Structure 1
Amino acid sequence: MVQFETPTREVFWNIKHFWLLYVTFVPVVLAFAFGAWNLVRRWRRGKPVQRTDNWRERLDGFFRDAVAQEQIRKGDRRAGFFHVLISWGFVVLFIGTTVVFIHADLRIPLMQGWFYLVFQSLILDLFGLGAIVGLLIALWNRYVIRPRRLTHGVWSDGFILVSLLVIMVTGFLVEGLRIVATQDPWAAWSPVGTATGRLLAAAGLSGFDAQLAAHRFLWWFHMAVSFVFIGYIPFSKMMHMFTSPAAIFTRNLGNKGKLEPIDMESMEEGQVLGVRTLTDFTWKDLLDLDACTECGRCQAVCPAFAVGKPLNPKYIILNMQEQMTAEMGRFPWDKPAGEARPIVGTSIEPEALWSCTTCLACVEACPVEIEHVRKIVDLRRYLVMEEADFPETAQAAVQGLEDRGHPFRGSDASRSDWYADLPYVRELAEAGQAEYLFFVGDAIAFNQRTQNIARAMAKIMHEAGLDFAVLGEEETNSGDVARRIGNEYLYEMFARQNIETFQRYGVKKIVTTDPHVFHTFKNEYPDFGGEFEVIHHSQLIQQLLDEGRIQVEKGRFDRVTYHDPCYLGRHNGEYDAPRFVVDALGAQRIEMERSRERAFCCGAGGGRYFMDDPPGQRINVARAREAAATGAGTVCTACPYCMLMMEDGLTTVAAEAGADGPQVQTKDLAELVAEALVVRAGQAAGGAAAGQES
């Protein structure tokens, strides 16, 4: 055996005909490249979209979520822990293999001295051990704990984990046999390999010839399994090692809840509105289908799935992935399976699409930036605008928007009823202009209960001395409901009408108590030339409290739990302003089990407020139970839809609990502040009515 004065080792020690390694590696590389190109070929059939701009921001996200895996480590910490161990173990071992190649084949002597001892021996050993630990935890998680969110009974999942484990274990067996056979003087720098070699020797493999034979066999076996696995990668879910980082890099850098407009003026003949077949998606959408890791985190947080509705966001993606493979082929020479089939009815049932509340919980939870909600709305657009095929209750809402300018059936209220007895509420038509336009929204104007939110907010702004006005009967729908249901035509009509009205009055700042309006005006109207400063009322109230322009009496409310509206929280990242206001009231704020980014939806978004729910599938009841479980006497929210849904849900919960159950009231943030407002002298009479429920 060869002894080295400088720390190093012989790369192909004990291996004869090692040139076979290079001969067999060629078809492996070709198979990998072949499979990878086929995936790219499929994605290129999607429509163009710009997702390679702003490299600095994209690289920041890439290193944060693909390299450091911050998003994976959120939520399920056990899964995040073992995934980091596995992925980083293999990344470091791949680097180590590359060093061997450079040293042995390019004749650049890297494997020597301190670098050999510290990196090529110690660090590789430790990261390899970490990968084995991660794989064992992953196997335990999948086959013993068996989380509901994972897909069970799929042979390939076990095959992948076991194959990786075999590669890792045989690698240490080979290293251990080399160390004991050569009596490596630097064995202490390879603690795992040394321990493995000693265990093998203690188990009876102590003869030099036996060690040589076992080493040679295991070396070739290790290489064979590794090569087969590398060639298998692009044809398996393991390709997510490459597709997931690609999806993260090409993620949407803007608002995650923003929907893209349809350029109807530039549409070519035969082009459909929305998405009918897979090739109607963009290439990024098709990449998303192959980037899915099947982790099931989207499924675990989906409110529709949680209450038994026929929507599972994980299978929305996976079913379309299967359809893509069937239609576009797994190999370049595969013939297309006939004419491209419509997605709805082939891989996705319409009932699943109409169960979505567009709450964005799935998108927030996805560790690889898959955009589920945009795909769902695009599929809805096709059904609504091309097929006129959508639920009757949703059709009634759209019909109401077309006929009356609002979707609320059976309401005889007008848009000016709520401020009829509030002399300080002016209309823009008479005021001419104002610093703030208070845009009320349909969910408040046409519901007697929620009208009190507008009255409370008007009282607050008046007390603060703000110059504000409303549109009154000139106000119309924001278009949000039509857009989320899928009627882009109607949305665009409302958007252009509102923008024209705002610009005619010189509106610069808009205040609203409706997060759906807030989101639409702030993030989606700019696509049509509507650039305004849009402020949610929770933000304005926080500002007024900060500046001392209003004062509140503390201690009026005891225990308060705050429900995060999806369109304020996940869609726009506003979690702190409402909590600041609750705390300013001196209340004991109690968080629900799921809050902030993980908050459970009320069930109203995506047009679901206007669709029927079977008794056992009511999202608002599930959320109301969670709110009641906090023991709070008041559920506070900052959205009129959430207000209505939570009140309805709490009524059901109270009926279930009976007379001895908890008595919980639902209030909007503005109502709490208005009730606790310290009114300046001379303002009490004018503002008293606003603090009382209508």
Structure 2
Amino acid sequence: MFSADTFDPVQVTRILFEGFSSHAIVLFYLLGFGAIGVFFYGVFVQVRKYRRGQPIGAPLALGERFLQMCRTVASHRTIMRRDPAAGRAHRMIFYGFALLFIGTATITVDYDITSKLFGLSFWHGSFYLWFSLVLDFAGVAMIAGLLYMMVRRGWIKPPKLDYKRPDRKPGDPDYDRSGYRREDWAFLWTLIIIGITGYLLEAARLVWLQERPEVWDLRWWSPFGAALAEVLRAGGLSAEGAGMLRSGLWWFHGIIALTLIALIPFTKVKHIFTSSGSLMFRDPLAAQRLPRQPADSEKVGYTAITDFTWKHLLNLDACTKCGRCHEACPANASGAPLSPRDVILSLREFANEALQKNALPDEVKLSVHGKDGGQVFMETLWSCRTCMACVEICPVAVEHVPIIVQMRRKLVEDGDMEPQLQKTLQTIHKTGNSFGESKRKRAAWTKALPFPVKDARKEPVDVLWFVGDYASFDPRNQKVSQAFATLLHDAGVDFGLLYEGESNAGNDVRRVGEEGLYELLAETNIATLGTASFKTIVTTDPHSYNTIRNEYPEFGGQYEIEHYTSYVLRMLREGKLTIRKPLGSRVTLHDPCHLGRFNKGYDAPRDILKAIGCDLVEMPRHGDNSFCCGAGGGRIWMPDPVGAEKPSQMRIKEAAGIDGLEVFVVCCPKDLTMFEDALKTAGYEGKFVVRELIEMISEALDEQTVDGSADDSGTPAAENAGAPLVAA
């Protein structure tokens, strides 16, 4: 490979318009400015659309957000998750396109700005050669990534890229999504044509100028273009023919590139900007901490598309239709009429139709609820489990769950809900719990304990245990509560309860969309907590844990709170609890949504299982990819369709694939209820059992004699010491 030093450095460059008349050059600039003008008009239309949304009402640390967005985009961290092949291909396209864009911008700066205004030119000599080499490899990377994406869509065809809608049937206004498929292919073909014609153009230029040593002798600084030039020469292409080919390709390549620039704001290409913006304004607690309803608001939730915040309107445009949320959604997997992707795309279509016009349509035509094109069905919204699987996996930070809950608030306001759900909400309002039991019975389970449990409202305690509805009133979960109380007592923990002063924490009430009732519950619990004297709160209910930790502070309730798993793990590590009987059971662990995805509590339950001597085998979906039990978002208070497979049954089947499984371990009261029922209905009763982690811990702490009697301390011997274990 020759060096630029062999020639006059000024001659080692590429003359952009060589061989073109002044009229042709003027025409190109007119086309270029026209494309830029269309681009900026499109940007204006999009910005106007976002400005028609509502403010988010919170200050933004733009500097830190921008840097975080740049790190995420540069690393491709969110795109690589759970689909590394697509992530690698996208990385090749992204970096290839970015380098080619930077290269084009560099040429523009040199040719149209610095050389003409200041007489300074740097696009020649060694700089030009290295520039050419880098861009040659960048173009190949981009084309390779595009080819993989074509193969993926055309031949591999992963189900998540199928745009068939679960919430529509043929004949519905917006059932047909073939337009999206055409747009996807047009995007891929446009980029690949730009890339391929770029190499052909480079090869034709080299053949055309083969008599110039400063061009031909340095051709291998553009290795792929040079190799193609050799092929063209071998095929009989003359210098004159190459000149004609170069002229035609120059216009073809240039017009396609300018058309792409002009159409960016109106097509899929705009995701380059909207996805980056969505990542930049990402709320790390989007689903964990839902927004309050402004006290002075005349509307409840999202009624019209103009009720959406500008950030949520930006989310709609950021969606790349990758289908990861569609694939992760438990409602969709169980046949419910919900795909998070389709909700977002429907709302995007609605927003574009309503908000991109010069004048807004009337209020009726702005409603996002209904059966018309772009509107979202009531049945779709009520299918959501608010498990956050969609928000967690979305590579561009779309906030599906907050959008769905805001739309649910309107349904609740209008009374458009399942009768059973409405009855449960009325019951919670009346009694403070979802079981309809008297408040005086909330701590009735403590009467069976051989020791008293303090009332934290009457005497100070170190630890306040916020029990929750299911752990207080459900007979099966009451046994778990008794086991945990015994564990705390035996460890010498100074703990107490709120007794009848405790009400439903409101986490699921809020995710149903009943904001008024939620605020009443939150304020009632905060007032009661204000009458108690304690240092920290521990809860066995992940749902209560989430809202007290993340949402109560907005109402003035700032507390130190732990889920019992992290609290017990610390006691084990500090020697306050001693494992006397390692269990040796083969187990799998279900990550509760509100402990795992919502609050990143993945490690403590696993560390406890290891500490008590269990052989933990993970299910295929675990950690942040855990599959929801189906109880969240108020669905535990709503009937499932007759004959449909429930998410809990699907999860039990997944666990059943583990050879020799003895125990399906949970650490959430609702999970215990859902999965014990699913074990029976899915047909696996007797093959393994569902147990609460607290029960496993209690068994491992018991010191048992050989004949199974109680130890010297009088502690009852653990039931089911041998394998297989039987549920209590």
Fold match by TM threshold 0.5 = yes
**CA offset at residue 613 of structure 1?**
0.9
> Residue 240 of structure 1 aligns to which amino acid in structure 2?
H
User: Superposition pairs for residues 334-349 of structure 1, below 5 Å?
Assistant: 336=361, 339-345=364-370, 346=372, 347-349=375-377
For residue 268 of structure 2, what is the aligned residue in structure 1? 237
Q: Is 2:325–2:394's contact at 8 Å kept on the other side of the alignment?
A: yes
- The one-letter code of the counterpart of 1:174 is L
Match of 2:546 among 504, 515, 519: 519
Q: Is the 8 A contact 1:449 1:693 kept in 2?
A: no
Query: Mapping of 1:198-347 within 5 angstroms?
Result: 198-205=230-237, 207-254=238-285, 256-264=287-295, 266-267=296-297, 271-329=298-356, 332-333=357-358, 336=361, 339-345=364-370, 346=372, 347=375
Deviation at 1:408, TM superposition (A): 2.1
User: 2:127 maps to which residue?
Assistant: 115
- CA distances 1:437-466 after superposition (whole Å, capped 9, x unpaired): 011110111111111221121122222221
Which amino acid is the alignment partner of residue 15 of structure 1? F
Question: Structure 1 residue 559: deviation in Å?
Answer: 0.5
Query: How many Å apart are 1:149 and its aligned residue?
Result: 1.5
Q: Which residue of 1 aligns with 2:670?
A: 641
Is 1:25 aligned to 2:32, yes or no? yes
Contact 2:582 2:614 in 1 (8 A): yes
- Which residue matches 2:155? 144
In 1, distance between residues paired with 2:68 and 2:61? Answer: 11
State yes or no: 1:651 paired with 2:675.
Answer: no
Which of residues 651, 658, 662 in structure 2 aligns to 1:630?
Answer: 658
* Equivalent runs, 1:580-619 vs 2, <5 Å: 580-614=607-641, 615-619=643-647
Aligned-residue offset at 1:410: 8.2
The CA deviation at 1:474 is: 2.1
Residue aligning to 1:670: 694
Give the TM-score, by structure 1 length.
0.93
* AA in 2 matched with 1:258: R
* Distance of 1:305 and 1:549 partners within structure 2: 45
Residue matched to 2:142? 131
The residue number in structure 2 matching 1:73 is: 80
Q: Measure, in 2, the Cα distance between the counterparts of 1:157 and 1:693.
A: 52
2-structure distance, mates of 1:76, 1:253: 22
Query: What amino acid is aligned across from residue 33 of structure 1 in structure 2?
Result: F
Given candidates 41, 54, 64, the residue that maps to 2:71 is 64
Match for 2:8 among 5, 17, 22? 5
- The one-letter code matched in structure 2 to 1:71 is T
Instruction: Kindly indicate whether the alpha-carbon contact (under 8 Å) linking 1:400 and 1:409 is maintained by their aligned counterparts in 2.
Output: yes
Query: How far apart, in 2, do the equivalents of 1:260 and 1:675 lie?
Result: 42
TM-score, with normalisation over the residues of structure 2?
Answer: 0.89
CA offsets 1:344-389 (integer angstroms, 9 cap, x no match): 214110111111110000001111101000011111111112x011
Matches within 5 A, 1:231-630: 231-254=262-285, 256-264=287-295, 266-267=296-297, 271-329=298-356, 332-333=357-358, 336=361, 339-345=364-370, 346=372, 347-385=375-413, 387-408=414-435, 414-428=441-455, 432-614=459-641, 615-630=643-658
Alpha carbons 2:541, 2:563 under 8 Å: kept: yes
C-alpha distance 114-541 of structure 1, shift in aligned 2 (>3 A): farther
Q: What secondary structure sits across from 1:18 in the alignment?
A: helix
Equivalent residue for 2:182, pick from 155, 172, 177: 155
Change (3 A) 1:275 1:684: farther
Residue identity opposite 1:654 in structure 2: G
Change (3 A) 1:214 1:80: same
Q: 1:10 to 1:465 in 2, by over 3 A?
A: same
What is the letter of the counterpart of residue 331 of structure 2?
Answer: A
Q: Secondary structure of 1:654's match? A: coil
Work out the CA distance in 1 between the residues paired with 2:711 and 2:663: 30
Please say which of residues 69-78 and 12-21 is displaced more in the overlay.
Answer: 12-21
Unaligned 5+ runs, structure 2: 164-177, 705-709, 721-725
Give the letter for the 2:226 counterpart. T
Q: Following the alignment from structure 2 to structure 1, what is the Cα–Cα distance between the partners of residues 550 and 282?
A: 17
Task: Tell me how many residue pairs correspond in the alignment.
Answer: 679
Q: Secondary structure at the match of 1:358?
A: coil
Q: Please tell me whether residue 38 in structure 1 is matched to residue 45 in structure 2.
A: yes
Distance 1:63 1:541, change over 3 A: same
Name structure 1 gaps, 5 residues minimum: 656-660
Q: Deviations over 1:222-242 (max 9, x none)?
A: 001111111111111211111
SS of the equivalent of 1:685 reads: coil
Specify the SS of the correspondent of 1:450.
helix
Partners of 2:283 and 2:510 lie apart in 1 by 19
- Identity in percent: 37
Q: In the alignment, is the contact (CA less than 8 A) between 2:334 and 2:647 conserved in 1?
A: yes
Distance 2:488 2:719 in 1: 11
CA RMSD of superposed structures (Å) = 2.4
